[in-house]
């Protein structure tokens, strides 16, 4: 998952279309400027939060509608971590009626942001820097972290605990979604992996082997990048077979976008394919939460 040659093949930076898309999102981000303490921005409330988690103190971005209780969603960022691009996506999801927590996957080592954007990651040895941080977020690390995150969310006034929790992951965060659902099946009812790696394999803790451990009413979306599918064309069939054997509803589709296509500051961001994936995410949460 998230291998160095995928980044090298993505080109040297953003093209004009991608730059325009990121610029538009940056303008939206400025309109909903990140706050160090809870503040209302229009109909949303957002703040940076921190709480105890295994191995350290989790720092995360929490945004939700300004009034009422809403289903919670956990967002696991891609390899470049918690940054403005994911805050913008979280605000958009919160505007659809969810209480959204974007976690720092590298909280055991240092607070976010580790990189300002994906270009900062690419230009400053990001892959090498995050290597030892990523090792701590293996199946066991994610499992214990997910339990702490769910426990914190369930204490928040903005979270409707009568509804299931959703979770979505990008790139290395893709397998986290199934690990999270298996870690807290009583609460996590939906998972969406976008260009996620490491979903299959012989390891008994590989996500493909854990569908029997998720809630009976859980649902999943697995959105696969076209170049990831070209590398491992059998993965989608392996995942479908495993989910069917466990009786778990899973929507699996190969999208017309390369690895990273859903993240606005990615060098391969594809707006049309990203919007289609976003629509399927909302449909998943509408059905499952």
Per-residue model confidence as pLDDT tens digits over 193-236: 999 999 999 999 999 999 999 999 999 999 999 999 999 999 99
Count of residues making up the chain: 289
pLDDT at 75 > cutoff 50: yes
278 pLDDT exceeds 60? yes
Please answer whether residues 49 and 103 qualify as being in contact, where contact means their C-beta atoms are separated by less than 8 angstroms. Answer: no
Phi, psi angles (nearest 5°) of residue 59: -115, 140
- Least confident range of 16-30, 70-84, 123-137, 159-173: 16-30
pLDDT of residue 150: 98
Percent pLDDT > 70 in the chain is: 85
Phi–psi pair at 194, nearest 5 degrees: -115, 120
* Mean pLDDT, residues 255-277 taken together: 97
pLDDT at residue 33 is higher than 70: no
Q: Which residue has the higher pLDDT, 6 or 138?
A: 138
Report whether pLDDT(21) > 90: no
> Mean pLDDT, to the nearest integer, of 271-283?
98
Number of domains in the chain: 1
What is the per-residue pLDDT for 28?
A: 40
Residues 109-138 have pLDDT tens digits of: 999 999 999 999 999 998 899 999 999 999
pLDDT of residue 36 exceeding 60, the answer is no
- Structure confidence at residue 42 (pLDDT): 54
User: How far is the C-alpha of 82 from the C-alpha of 59, rounded, in Å?
Assistant: 9
Report d(CA 161, CA 220) in Å as an integer.
20
- Does the pLDDT at position 40 exceed 90? no
**DSSP letter string, 32-60:** T---SS-EEETTEEEEEEEEEETTEEEEE
Q: Are 205 and 142 in contact (CB under 8 A)?
A: no
Question: What 3-state DSSP class applies to 119?
Answer: helix
Distance CA 85, CA 211 (A): 30
Read off the pLDDT of each residue in 180-204 and give the average, rounded to a whole number.
Answer: 98
Residue 2's pLDDT band (cuts 50, 70, 90)? low
Residue 26 has a pLDDT of 43
Mean pLDDT for the chain overall: 89
pLDDT band per the 50, 70, 90 thresholds, residue 269? very high
pLDDT exceeds 70 at position 55? yes
Structure tokens given for 278? 């976003």
CATH of the domain at 266: 3.40.50.1820
Q: Which domain holds residue 180?
A: 4-288
Higher pLDDT, 6 or 215: 215
Torsion (CA) 128, 230, 172, 120 in degrees, nearest 10 = 50
How high is the pLDDT of residue 214?
A: 98
Mean pLDDT of 176-203: 98
Q: What pLDDT score was predicted for residue 204?
A: 97
Average confidence (pLDDT) over 25-45: 49
């Amino acid at each position: 998952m998230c291998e160095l040659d995928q980044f090298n093949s993505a080109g040297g930076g953003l093209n004009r279309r991608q730059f325009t898309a990121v610029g538009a999102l940056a303008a939206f981000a400025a309109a909903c400027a990140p706050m160090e303490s809870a503040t209302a921005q229009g109909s949303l409330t957002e703040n940076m939060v921190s709480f105890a988690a295994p191995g350290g103190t989790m720092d995360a971005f929490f945004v939700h509608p300004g009034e009422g209780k809403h289903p919670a969603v956990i967002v696991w960022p891609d390899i470049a971590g918690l940054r403005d691009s994911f805050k913008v996506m979280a605000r958009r999801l919160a505007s659809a009626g969810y209480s959204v927590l974007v976690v720092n996957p590298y909280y055991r080592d240092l607070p976010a942001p580790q990189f300002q954007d994906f270009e900062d990651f690419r230009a400053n040895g990001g892959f090498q820097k995050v290597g030892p941080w990523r090792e701590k977020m293996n199946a066991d690390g994610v499992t214990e972290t997910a339990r702490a995150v769910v426990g914190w969310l369930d204490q928040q006034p903005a979270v409707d605990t009568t509804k299931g929790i959703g979770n979505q992951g990008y790139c290395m965060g893709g397998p986290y979604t199934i690990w999270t659902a298996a870690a807290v099946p009583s609460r996590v009812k939906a998972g969406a992996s976008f260009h996620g790696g490491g979903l299959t394999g012989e390891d008994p803790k590989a996500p493909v082997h854990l569908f029997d451990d998720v809630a009976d009413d859980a649902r999943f979306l697995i959105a696969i990048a076209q170049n990831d599918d070209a590398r491992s064309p059998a993965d989608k069939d392996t995942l479908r077979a495993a989910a069917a054997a466990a009786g778990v509803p899973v929507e699996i589709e190969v999208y017309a976008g390369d690895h990273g296509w859903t993240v606005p500051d990615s060098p391969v961001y594809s707006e049309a394919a990203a919007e289609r994936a976003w629509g399927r995410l909302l449909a998943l949460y509408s059905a499952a939460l």
